[in-house]
Amino acid sequence: MSNKPRYATQRDANQAEITAGLRACGHHVWDASPYFETPDIFTWGYNARLGLWLIRGVEIKTDEGDLTPGQEQFIATWPGAILVARTLEEVLADFGQG
């Protein structure tokens, strides 16, 4: 039995744009996309609605992109919230900044 991943880890086409936009808004961003089946990024930013600094895992998808079974499992078992987002505006809205 092989331990090789079924899906190659690669960045979604919109990841660079979303990451740059988050950084421009003052977020700290860690690119986790090289690590198999984790969210693409973890971002630390100020949630204006809650008045708190939060860390959020973000799985970035293009308009046509779907979650892999491994990503679905990770999201289902991770103790914190993971946002699945297709645009910068979706991530900012999650932080109350949109």
pLDDT at residue 91 is higher than 90: yes
Q: What pLDDT is recorded for position 52? A: 94
Is residue 64 assigned to a domain? yes
Q: Which tens digit of pLDDT belongs to each residue from 21-70?
A: 999 999 999 999 888 778 999 999 999 889 999 999 999 999 999 998 98
Based on the structure, what is the number of domains in the chain? 1
Q: What pLDDT is recorded for position 73? A: 93
Is residue 60 assigned to a domain? yes
Band the pLDDT of 9: cuts 50, 70, 90: low
Residue 59: partners with Cβ closer than 8 Å, 6 or more residues away: 39, 40, 67, 71, 75, 82, 83, 84, 85
Is residue 19 assigned to a domain? no
Determine the structural domain holding residue 44 and report its residue range.
Answer: 29-94
Task: Give the global pTM.
Answer: 0.83
pLDDT at residue 85 is higher than 60: yes
Is residue 68 assigned to a domain? yes
Is residue 6 assigned to a domain? no
Is residue 73 assigned to a domain? yes
Question: What are the CA-CA distances from residue 26 to residues 4, 9, 34, 49, 97 (Å)?
Answer: 37, 27, 23, 16, 11
Is residue 15 assigned to a domain? no
